[in-house]
A and B are shown apart, each in its own frame.
Chain A
Amino acid sequence: MSEELIGAAYIVSAILFIFGLKLLGSPATAVRGNQLSALGMLVAVVVTLGSHEIIDYRWIGVAAVLGAIVGVVSAQRVAMTGMPEMVALFNGSGGLASLLVGWAALDMSGGTGEGDPQSAFTVVTVLLSILIGGVTFSGSIVAWGKLSETIPSGAIRFPGQQIVSLAMLVATIGCGVAMVAQPEVWTGTLIYVVIALSVLLGVMAVIPIGGADMPVVISLLNSYSGLAACAAGLAINNTILIVAGALVGAAGIILTNIMCKAMNRSLSNVLFSGFTAAKAAT
């Protein structure tokens, strides 16, 4: 399939995603909205499989079949009351996928692929997809743990928590700067540091928030997973990833805000609730 045809199909699937999201917002049309968006996904996947860039289907086939089985079984088994937990797990899965895509994309520039060898743009977008994807992954797992009471659902705090988080974020940015400045020297080693820090940051971000606020947190992490997909799209130069990821990222932020308002709270109030409670207690 030619580049132009794939591009045109991506436009169709973007339109389906847009209408799907729109229709999901009102009760009468929500079912159809979900179907339209699923159709959009199908179109995007099928034309991508037809791309001439793909020369080997074995890995894709095995991974997709296993993934579909896991998805179907878990979606059917989960009880209605367990839905938010399930969404958290799926969301974490998506975040992890974006992290892995970003990581694998590092080879595109360094290996046999065309384009600038490890251009700053590629390195930055790869780092963003790893950072946001990692935070989404571990944050969603913690949110799942809190909702299912696998881990204590209360806010978990320790002295200097915010400073530790901030230090980790600064360290991540520092690694990023080193990798952009001298990709040949640093990328190979620091990439593991960035991955570890990203995953830890997700844990640090969610543990200080109480279990009752988890639906809002999951909605925010859902927005992040969209942004992670968007960053991965920028890294590998794929427009449908950018468009769909940005749509979800923006729509997720708005939905998070709506959910906060429904609880009569502000977003920062939810995100830092653990800390203000700690201050009030001392």
Chain B
Amino acid sequence: METVFLGFVLMLSIFLGFELISKVPATLHTPLMSGANAISGITVVGAITLAGGELAGWATALAALAVFFATVNVVGGYMVTDRMLAMFKKKDEPEARS
């Protein structure tokens, strides 16, 4: 039953993801990619539950490493996206990069 429920959640999320992105102006391609990348750092939540739980020593160490890398992804990802968007706003003209 649990597996079926997770399957439904998975399927609906995928369809929603497909529908969310439609016409995106070329200037926003890189910021959108970067913003989505920051969201994929959600794996930090999984890493936290494992690193703080009562797993064996080696698994806790792996999970702690995962917390580190996922935090780099999340924090860096959101900040880099913000910087890109700030530049985009000020100059108010398309980026030089294709």
Contacts and interface: CB of A to CB of B under 8 A. Distances in A.
Interface of A: 17-18, 20-22, 24-27, 30-31, 33-35, 37-38, 40-41, 44-45, 48-49, 51, 53-57, 59-60, 62-64, 66-68, 70-72, 74-76, 78, 80-81, 83-84, 86-87, 90-91, 93-94, 96-98, 100-101, 103-108, 111-113, 121, 215, 218-219, 222, 225-226, 228-230, 232-234, 236-255, 258-259, 262-263
Contacts of B18: 250-251, 253-254
A219 B33 contact: yes
Counting from the closest, the 4 A-B pairs by CB-CB distance are A250-B17, A67-B71, A71-B75, A54-B52
Contact of B80 (A59, A83, A93, A107): A83
B37 A236 contact: no
B78 A34 contact: yes
A63 B17 CA distance: 30
A189 B75 CA distance: 35
Nearest to A25: B24
Interface of B: 2-3, 6, 9-10, 13-18, 20-56, 58-89, 97-98
A53 to B, nearest CB: 6
Given A45-B45, A242-B6, A247-B16, A63 B65 contact: yes
A38 B65 CA distance: 22
Contact of A94 (B2, B17, B29, B41): B41
A228 B37 CA distance: 12
A54 B2 CA distance: 22
B29 A255 contact: yes
A41 B38 contact: yes
B2 A83 contact: no
B59 A30 contact: no
Contact of B40 (A105, A225, A234): A225
Contacts of A215: 29-30, 33, 98
A221 B33 CA distance: 10
Contact of B49 (A20, A48, A103): A48
Given A104-B63, A242-B6, A21 B89 contact: no
B26 A238 contact: no
B23 to A, nearest CB: 8
Given A55-B52, A97-B66, A234-B10, A262 B26 contact: yes
Contacts of A40: 39
Contact of B2 (A24, A26, A237): A237
B42 A37 contact: no
Contacts of B22: 25, 254
A64 B49 contact: no
A237 B2 CA distance: 9
A86 B16 CA distance: 28
A94 B60 CA distance: 18
Contact of A250 (B14, B27, B52, B81): B14
A229 B40 contact: yes
A273 B14 CA distance: 28
B28 A24 contact: yes
Nearest to A230: B10
